[in-house]
Amino acid sequence: MNGANLRAGRSSAPGFRASASFPSRAKLGDRNARSDDTMMDAGRSPLLVVENLSVSFFLDNRQVLRAVDGVDLEIGRGEIVGLVGESGSGKTVFALSLLRLVPAPGRITAGRIRWKDQDVLTLTGREMRAVRGRQVAMIFQDPQAALNPVRSVGAQMEAVMRLHHGMKGDDARDEAVRLLRLVRIPDAERRLAQYPHEFSGGMCQRIMIAMALACRPDLLIADEPTASLDVTIQAQIMDLLLEVRERFGTSILLISHDLGVVAGLCDRVGVMYLGRLIESGTATEVYASPGHPYTEALLASVPVPEPGRRPAPPMAGEAPSPMDRMAGCRFRTRCAKAFNPCADVDPRLRPVDPGGHAAACLLYDDASVAPAATQAH
Ligand SMILES: Nc1ncnc2c1ncn2[C@@H]1O[C@H](COP(=O)(O)OP(=O)(O)OP(=O)(O)O)[C@@H](O)[C@H]1O
Ligand code: SF4
Ligand SMILES: [Mg+2]
């Protein structure tokens, strides 16, 4: 594994609003229900360890698109890890690869994925199906597309309960009602009979969360769970994710192109650019003192609700194509701090400070944690 990565273990749990509305895992019928002693236990070995993961799409015209390029990441028990980056940076492909769901013509070309004590890339199809949903659940980027339009929400939820927990009939129905109430769908009993198109976007998102919770996963991957929702609903979904972690000890990988959305929720944050992880650290480190010029620019562009204060103008310059094998730093075409070596040297994650904060930028050399002297471009 590279020296610096998005590692588990330095959790700074954000605030949380408790709710009396959650049923316990024991009530959900889980014989393996976790108690509080398993929650937020960052001292144990991580649940998920990803090493040097690369995913490429092999296109018809023989071009190769490197969607994910050598990413390391760890997620501990009960941790919320944020993955941010602009559109096309590889967040969704990375998440899909964790479940071996990368669509053709995409393929995992290198790396290792360890889930608990299993090597995900060598599991049989049957073993992989046991991991998906039951242990690792994913809330997809587009909930309307992920839900089956011709089956009622109740039928879809009951199918999940039957598949993963062998629940049937009234038991499965009661559980579906309980989960819909949990995610604040009003009039849950009646709405079980309705179809996805009869729910708003925010409600579909909450139904997806309820379906993911029906599996009682150890890790929930939430891919843009608030995209296209208004800010009030966004806040509700974020509160819900926090409650899920607090109540069940669920680890969460929260993916967003919006740094503002994940700011208050994550223990650690990774920033992706063109398939690479270019910065990682605790949320406080990354937000309070970003190490990579790209993260700095991203943060500067987050709107601040202050009269007269405008977000920074969009980043200048064009991002290179993910199909180009450019020399040097991939961010140099847009970087205000670029200096001579940036054209030749491809930077890997280096420590920004003596903690775990790291950035893939030549401003930080290996010998010292202080930014190296810059020269004129
Ligand atoms: N099925 C596919 N075929 C070919 N290329 C793909 C496919 N899916 C994704 N890609 C490419 O892989 C790269 C990463 O895409 P990905 O969907 O992971 O981005 P993202 O960071 O999730 O973006 P967004 O914020 O828009 O969701 C992009 O260049 C994208 O065009
Ligand atoms: S390596 Fe150079 S071009 Fe790349 S982010 Fe750092 S200063 Fe900018
Ligand atoms: Mg995406």
pLDDT score of 34: 35
Mean pLDDT of the chain: 82
Query: What's the pLDDT band for 367 if we cut at 50, 70, 90?
Result: very low
Maximum mean pLDDT: which of 16-30, 52-66, 202-216, 304-318: 52-66
Single pTM value for the model: 0.85
DSSP lists the bridge partners of residue 66 as 56
Atom number of ligand 2 nearest to Cα 278: 5
pLDDT score of 7: 54
Please tell me which residue, 135 or 44, carries the higher pLDDT value: 135
Task: Answer yes or no: is pLDDT of 42 > 50.
Answer: no
> Ligand 3: distance of its center to the CA of 223 in Å?
7
Instruction: List all residues whose CB is within 6 A of at least one atom of ligand 1.
Output: 57, 65, 67, 85, 87-93, 103, 106, 141, 257, 322
Domains in the chain and their CATH numbers?
1-11+41-135+218-307 (3.40.50.300), 147-216 (no CATH)
Task: Answer yes or no: is pLDDT of 183 > 70.
Answer: yes
Residues bordering ligand 3, an ion, CB closer than 5 Å:
92
Atom number of ligand 2 nearest to Cα 337: 7
Tell me the C-alpha distance between 85 and 91, whole Å. Answer: 7
Please tell me which residue, 359 or 247, carries the higher pLDDT value: 359
Work out the average pLDDT over 154-160. Answer: 92
Work out the average pLDDT over 170-191. Answer: 91
Atom number of ligand 2 nearest to Cα 330: 4
Task: Answer yes or no: is pLDDT of 370 > 80.
Answer: no
Instruction: Count CA within 13 A, CB hemisphere, residue 172.
Output: 20
Task: Answer yes or no: is pLDDT of 145 > 90.
Answer: no
Query: What's the pLDDT band for 11 if we cut at 50, 70, 90?
Result: very low
Please tell me which residue, 339 or 317, carries the higher pLDDT value: 339
Task: Answer yes or no: is pLDDT of 36 > 90.
Answer: no
When mean pLDDT is compared across 30-34, 44-48, 161-165, 293-297, the lowest value belongs to 30-34
